């Protein structure tokens, strides 16, 4: 049976993410203390916005690779941690529960990479870069 879970993240949190994206402010401090499902939802929301704004600003020239090429490959994390699990587990969300330290670190790296891609799409200057 398919169980649809209610979103954990409040609408105001998503608004705050947009606000930070539009003003070039850092997102990672917002995610401190997040639990697995919250982190997964936050990453998913930012991924969706990155795709949406990517398509709107780049049109036919948009490619997922624009985003993923800024992220470290899964193999990098596996090597770093000496992880022998199949890469598929890493692509899914299993690791948030079985190997949270690595999964959270990867999610944060991905979110920061997406933020930087979005800075380009939105033509916004990152505050941390001055």
Partner 1 sequence: MEEYLHHETQRVGEIVIVGPPGSAKYEFINSLCKDVVITDQDVIFGRLPVGKDLLLFLYGVGYNGKNFDFAWDLIAPKMLGCIILFDWYNQQSYEGANKILDFLTQQFSAPLVLAADVRSNSYPIEECLFSAGITLSSHVRFLFYRSSDANGIRRAAVSLLDALIEAAS
Q: Which residues are at the interface with partner 1 (CB under 8 A)? A: 7, 10-12, 14-16, 18-19, 22-23, 48-49, 52-53, 56-57, 122-124
Alpha helices in 1-130 (DSSP H): 11-23, 36-58, 64-68, 74-81, 87-91, 95-98, 100-122
**Whether 110 contacts 26, CB under 8 Å:** no
Nearest distance, CB of residue 51 and partner 1, angstroms: 12
Q: Which is nearer to partner 1, 71 or 119 (CB)?
A: 119
Burial class (CB in 10 A: 0-12, 13-18, 19+), 14: middle
Nearest distance, CB of residue 88 and partner 1, angstroms: 29
Nearest distance, CB of residue 56 and partner 1, angstroms: 6
Nearest distance, CB of residue 50 and partner 1, angstroms: 12
**Can you tell me the distance from the alpha carbon of 55 to that of 62, in angstroms, rounded to the nearest whole number?**
6
Q: Which is nearer to partner 1, 56 or 68 (CB)?
A: 56
């Amino acid at each position: 049976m398919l169980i649809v879970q209610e979103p954990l993240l409040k609408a105001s949190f998503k608004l705050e993410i947009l606000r930070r994206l539009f003003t070039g402010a850092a997102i990672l401090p917002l995610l401190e203390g997040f639990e697995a499902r919250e982190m997964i939802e936050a990453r998913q929301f930012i991924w969706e916005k990155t795709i949406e704004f990517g398509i709107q600003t780049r049109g036919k020239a948009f490619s997922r690779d624009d985003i993923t090429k800024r992220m470290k490959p899964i193999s990098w994390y596996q090597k770093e941690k000496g992880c022998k699990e199949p890469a598929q587990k890493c692509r899914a969300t299993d690791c948030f529960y079985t190997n949270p330290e690595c999964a959270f670190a990867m999610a944060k790296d991905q979110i920061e990479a997406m933020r930087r891609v979005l800075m380009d799409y939105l033509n916004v200057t990152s505050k941390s870069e001055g």
